């Protein structure tokens, strides 16, 4: 049912940590331990390197694309404590648009807010804090806010709540979305997932989701497509993936998706939010789908690195 469409040889000199396609799925951005960020043109299954961005002095953990209405912008965060926003001016000419230096430790995660809110970037760092960087597009000036001590020991991942709140049909043309409350979820080394809400000009902790018994490695807010509920998936070193559900942002119910054989490192949702991909230390990527009875089913063991060496490794 699944086929390999192409293999991209990134040419990075060391392990990559993140690979993301842009809004239209035409450009692939990758980042690596070799300190570079690369951009590939991946139209029609070909891959052409169009930019090799060097600006970090350490492994680059994550990259994120902004909505194309802000132009071609790419954010990257690194072990060197920096967050860099790159901008494509003329075709294939990338320059540093903004650099943020206000973290005291490695920056692990970057995520652009839903475009309706404007050009906003959230960053989570090992120093335990989360920064929210807002760009005034008119003047190209950035403003930053910081949530200090969001997670003790460190923040591992950030995910925004999508702004698409279901609206009554008669209200189609209003701009209520622009005034919608901004929320984001973060995952930390304090075994918690936390939900943050913007309140006037501050960010407050709205909820603390406790259910994991080890570091939470990843968190992913499901794209809410026409649903009046919010759903978050979190992955932890305690071998659990938990699905959190809420209809009012005050009470969250949790369901353990599955207890895996090994640590779970990451979770990600498909674009329409109907499938969840889970990556674990068991060398497998599994796909999960919620059926009409609200039960989670593994739809396939999608990928497993199977070759002789793997087997040897796995049997150790």
Residues of this chain, 37-96, that bind another protein according to CB under 8 A: 42, 58-59, 61, 67-72, 79, 88-91
Residues in the chain: 316
Please, which residue, 50 or 303, has the CB nearer to another protein? Answer: 303
Pattern 210-249, another protein, x by CB under 8 A: -------x-----x-xxx----------------------
Burial class (CB in 10 A: 0-12, 13-18, 19+), 226: exposed
Please, which residue, 203 or 235, has the CB nearer to another protein? Answer: 235
Among 148, 250, 272, 295, binds another protein (CB under 8 A): 272
Among 201, 253, 271, 315, binds another protein (CB under 8 A): 271
Q: 3-state class of 98 per DSSP?
A: strand
Among 10, 129, 159, 207, binds another protein (CB under 8 A): 10
* DSSP strands (E only) in 126-181: 130-136, 141-147, 155-160
Residue 282 CB, shortest distance to another protein, in Å, is: 8
- The DSSP code for 171 is G
Residue 7 CB, shortest distance to another protein, in Å, is: 5
Q: Which element (helix H / strand E) includes 309? A: helix 308-315
24 near another protein, rule: CB under 8 A:
yes
Contacts of 291 (CB under 8 A, 6+ apart): 297
Please, which residue, 110 or 263, has the CB nearer to another protein? Answer: 263
Among 7, 250, 253, 315, binds another protein (CB under 8 A): 7
Distance CA 203, CA 212 (A): 24
Q: Which of residues 94-133 bind another protein (CB under 8 A)?
A: 115-116
Please, which residue, 71 or 204, has the CB nearer to another protein? Answer: 71
Please, which residue, 91 or 250, has the CB nearer to another protein? Answer: 91
Write a three-state SS string for 217-274: EEEEECCCCCCCCEEEEEEECCCEEEEEEECCCCCCEEEEEEECCCCEEEEEECCCCC
Q: 3-state class of 90 per DSSP?
A: coil
285 near another protein, rule: CB under 8 A:
yes
Residue 234 CB, shortest distance to another protein, in Å, is: 15
Which is nearest to 152 in space by CA: 126, 172, 119? 126
25 near another protein, rule: CB under 8 A:
yes
Residues touching another protein: how many (CB under 8 A)? Answer: 91
Residue 288 CB, shortest distance to another protein, in Å, is: 11
Distance CA 281, CA 261 (A): 8
Q: Which of residues 155-174 bind another protein (CB under 8 A)?
A: 164, 166, 172-173
Residue 89 CB, shortest distance to another protein, in Å, is: 7
Please, which residue, 154 or 207, has the CB nearer to another protein? Answer: 154
* DSSP strands (E only) in 33-82: 36-41, 48-54, 60-65, 73-78
């Amino acid at each position: 049912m699944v086929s390999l469409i192409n293999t991209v040889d990134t040419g990075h000199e060391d392990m990559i940590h993140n690979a993301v396609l842009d809004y239209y799925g035409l450009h692939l951005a990758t980042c690596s331990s070799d300190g570079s960020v690369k951009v590939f043109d991946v139209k029609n299954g070909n891959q052409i390197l169009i930019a090799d961005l060097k600006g970090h002095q350490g492994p680059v953990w994550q990259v994120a694309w902004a909505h194309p209405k802000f132009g071609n912008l790419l954010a990257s965060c690194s072990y060197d404590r920096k967050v860099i926003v790159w901008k494509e001016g003329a075709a294939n000419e990338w320059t540093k648009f903004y650099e943020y230096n206000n973290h005291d430790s490695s920056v692990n995660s970057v995520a652009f807010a839903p475009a309706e809110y404007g050009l906003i970037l959230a960053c989570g760092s090992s120093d335990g804090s989360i920064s929210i960087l807002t760009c005034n597009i008119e003047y190209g000036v950035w403003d930053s806010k910081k949530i200090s001590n969001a997670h003790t020991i460190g923040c591992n991942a950030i995910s925004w709540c999508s702004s698409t709140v279901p609206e009554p049909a008669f209200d189609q043309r209003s701009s209520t979305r622009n005034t919608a409350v901004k929320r984001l979820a973060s995952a930390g080394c304090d075994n918690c997932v936390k939900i943050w809400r913007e309140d006037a000009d501050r960010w407050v902790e709205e909820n603390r989701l406790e259910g994991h018994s080890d570091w939470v490695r990843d968190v992913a807010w499901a794209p809410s497509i026409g649903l009046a509920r919010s759903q978050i998936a979190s992955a932890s070193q305690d071998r659990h993936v938990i699905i959190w559900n809420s209809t009012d942002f005050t009470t969250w119910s949790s369901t353990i998706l599955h207890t895996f054989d090994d640590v779970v490192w990451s979770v990600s949702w498909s674009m329409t939010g109907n499938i969840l991909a889970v990556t674990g230390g068991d060398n497998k990527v599994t796909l999960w789908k919620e059926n009409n009875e609200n039960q989670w089913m593994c739809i396939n063991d999608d990928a497993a690195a199977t070759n002789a060496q793997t087997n040897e490794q796995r049997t150790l």
